[in-house]
Amino acid sequence: MAQAAAGSSAPRSHTVEFNHGKIARDMAVRRAGKIFMIFAPIVGYFFLWAPIIILIVFSFNASRSVGQWRGFTLEWYSNIFNNIAGSEARFSTSEMLQSFGTSITIAIITTLISTALGTMVGMSLARGNYPGKRIVDNLLFLPVVIPEITQGVSLLIFFNLIFNYLRGNGLNAAPGLGTIIIGHVVFTVSYVAIVVRARFADMNPRIEEAAADLGATPWRTFWRITFPLILPGVISGGLLAFTLSLDDFVVTFFLSGVGSTTLPVFVFGLLRTSVTPEINAISTLILIMSTILIGIAMVLQGRDNIAKTA
Amino acid sequence: MAFNIDLSSSSGYDPREKRRGGLLALPAVLWLAIFFIIPLLFVVGISFMTRGTRGAFISPELTLDNYARIFSPTYFSVFVKSIWIAVLTTIICLIAGYPLAFFVATRKSRWAANLALFLVILPFWTNFLVRTYAWRLILGNEGLINAVLVGLGIVEQPVQFMFTDFAVQVGLVYGFLPFMVLPIYATIERFDFRLVEAANDLGANDIRAFLRVVLPLTMPGVIAGCILVFIPAIGSFITPELLGGNQGLMIGSLIQRQFGGTGNWPLGAAASVVMMGIVMLALMVYAFASSRRK
């Protein structure tokens, strides 16, 4: 079969003899491949980074228009902290800072809950052996692949019906920080579980066996041996949860009530109304923030890799 | 289908402890059951109900009208268009992402490999809203591309890129490219390149070696990448909203509008259910494709 396929492109010689035409063609293919492999990644990286770099550069541009460069300025940064953005847009620095505070509060509580739940379920999947483990595994997989908008809509319906029922019974309940945090835990817990579980996979189980052999109780083994070893995984899982929560727009958009506007929801409001250089400044600050967080998470994981190879 | 690492056979915990390990899963399982699975069932239930009157969003009379409307020409065309845009996004991401993943995975020094990977991952984790917005600076009428085109005298008037399907397409490819690169990278990194040498020695040129050896063996990453791009692309809401304006209506915006002030919740729920159906279909294709490979 292979011969028939080969025969279609170049006649196969059964004696050992050089087919100079084929060699020349193959060398040309290799050269073309090499050139392609130089240009394709350049184009790829350019595509990934150009918008980010342009955004940052133009947040310092003295001109209001992106089309021209009129020199360096910090005016837009100073504007967003002095209640100014654009000529006609209504902008409030206190609203911006308040939404930032809300985002941070939500991200911290989300991180605490989903790190605890995610670490436990990650450990149970890595070390446990119980009926229904496959179901747990697939259940954790679902929030990662179900579109965010479906999650947002389903929780909106869910809370609306529950709150209606509660109001019908004289209890007061409204969407706000609590509903947002609940939604954020749903889509961050899986990420923590994945990272923690991967950390378990890298760990030598003999160390735990040794602790058990030396008479340590499972509880003591966990806190003295297992937990310190998985801690970098727990921290980087927590940082991912924090970043995901801080950056989330879609789920938050559906779950936020009055007075629970987060920074992304606030920025989305600005983006819908106008394009001003001040938005570039806010966006640059947000980019720097998430870059720092992810940088820390990656360094933590990178250190693991170094430890693993040593 | 999910994360297939099983270490349960070896560790310092005895079998009784391992069974009790199920208890550790309980809090997360309960959380997801109550705040993820049950709400999804609510969506399915509501999709068969009627729009409420006088302040109520839902009235519990059962009907199939919502689905009839979804499959009426007006709404159905939005679905067809969304699927088409998502498929196109997946294909473009694959063509652009494979060489990039190949490049990252074949760096020789550890330092270069880490940097190459870092440069792909970082944009992936930065704020999606901000990254999408950045394209306005490039594609807008006063944006960078039009400034260059007009400046060089190639066009008289700025070209309208923004608020078109083209802008949505660019934004989606940009937003989801890392989802394609990372799984492919993971499979190429494990690939044994001596197989290519073997194929070369047996007379295959590089194209043939790639098509017959490298590509089939990295197929799991390709399939995973396609799924990871297709699903968020079909459910995308931010990108069509920010770059597409009114012209670029996709399922995501259609659903969101039904949950606004004057929207129709049951209709929005039905649209969500149909979208979930498409997603489930894609996941089944994925599960089938990966089980056949084993």
Nearest CB among B25, B102, B259 relative to A121 is that of B25
Map out the domains of chain B as residue ranges: 74-293
Task: Answer whether residue B153 shows pLDDT above 60.
Answer: yes
Model pLDDT, residue A85:
64
* Contacts with B119 from chain A: Cβ below 8 Å: 45, 48-49
- Subunit contact A221:B12, Cβ cutoff 8 A: yes
Rounded Cα distance between B136 and A283, Å, is: 13
User: What's the angle, vertex CA B230, arms to CA B30 and CA B187, rounded to 5?
Assistant: 85
Mean pLDDT of chain B: 86
Chain B contact for A146 (CB, 8 A cutoff) = yes
Candidates B85, B102, B130, B138: best to mutate against A (most CBs of A within 10 A) is B130
E-assigned strand segments in B76-134: none
Residues 115-134 on B with a CB inside 8 Å of A are: 116, 118-123, 125-131, 133-134
Task: Answer whether residue A309 shows pLDDT above 50.
Answer: no
Distance from CA of A194 to the nearest CA of B (A): 8
- Subunit contact A121:B24, Cβ cutoff 8 A: yes
How many CB atoms are closer than 10 A to CB A206? 12
Which chain B residue lies closest to A121 (C-alpha atoms)? B25
Which chain B residue lies closest to A306 (C-alpha atoms)? B110
Distance from CA of B267 to the nearest CA of A (A): 12
- Which of B14-28, B61-75, B145-159 is the least confident region? B14-28
**ipTM score for this prediction:** 0.86
- Subunit contact B39:A158, Cβ cutoff 8 A: yes
pLDDT digits (tens, 9 = 90+) for B7-55: 444 445 567 777 777 888 999 999 999 999 999 999 999 999 998 876 6
Strand, helix or coil for residue A61? strand
Q: Which residue has the higher pLDDT, B123 or A178?
A: A178
Task: Answer whether residue B93 shows pLDDT above 90.
Answer: yes
Q: What is the CATH number of domain B74-293?
A: 1.10.3720.10
DSSP string, A171-187: -----SHHHHHHHHHHH
Model pLDDT, residue B233:
94
* Contacts with A267 from chain B: Cβ below 8 Å: 129-130
Which chain B residue lies closest to A199 (C-alpha atoms)? B5
pLDDT band at residue B291 using 50, 70 and 90 as cut-offs: confident
- Pair of tokens at residue B219: 């197929």
Q: Which residue has the higher pLDDT, A294 or B186?
A: B186
pLDDT band at residue B5 using 50, 70 and 90 as cut-offs: very low
* Contacts with B3 from chain A: Cβ below 8 Å: 125, 137, 140-141, 194, 197
- Subunit contact A153:B126, Cβ cutoff 8 A: no
Model pLDDT, residue A254:
92
User: What's the angle, vertex CA A40, arms to CA A39 and CA A41, rounded to 5?
Assistant: 95
Task: Answer whether residue A30 shows pLDDT above 90.
Answer: no
- Pair of tokens at residue B215: 């590509």
Nearest CB among A68, A118, A127 relative to B147 is that of A68
For residue B275, give Cα distances in angstroms to B135, B140, B263.
27, 31, 18
pLDDT band at residue A306 using 50, 70 and 90 as cut-offs: very low
Which chain B residue lies closest to A264 (C-alpha atoms)? B129
pLDDT digits (tens, 9 = 90+) for A102-139: 999 999 999 999 999 999 999 999 888 888 899 999 99
Model pTM? Answer: 0.86
Rounded Cα distance between A283 and A96, Å, is: 12
Select from A187, A189, A156, A188 the least CA-distant residue to A174: A156
pLDDT band at residue B56 using 50, 70 and 90 as cut-offs: confident
Alpha-carbon A177 to chain mean position: 21
- Subunit contact B25:A160, Cβ cutoff 8 A: no
Strand, helix or coil for residue B58? strand
- Which of A4-13, A153-162, B78-87, B214-223 is the least confident region? A4-13
Task: Answer whether residue B90 shows pLDDT above 70.
Answer: yes
CA atoms within 13 A on the CB side of B32: 25
* Contacts with B283 from chain A: Cβ below 8 Å: 145
pLDDT band at residue B200 using 50, 70 and 90 as cut-offs: confident
pLDDT band at residue A195 using 50, 70 and 90 as cut-offs: confident
Nearest CB among B135, B206, B228 relative to A29 is that of B206
Select from B210, B203, B207 the least CA-distant residue to A18: B203
Q: Which helix (H) or strand (E) holds A162?
A: helix A148-168
Mean pLDDT of B195-212: 86
For residue A78, give Cα distances in angstroms to A71, A84, A88, A281.
16, 9, 17, 9
Q: Which residue has the higher pLDDT, A200 or B246?
A: A200
Percentage of the residues of chain A whose pLDDT score is greater than 90? 35
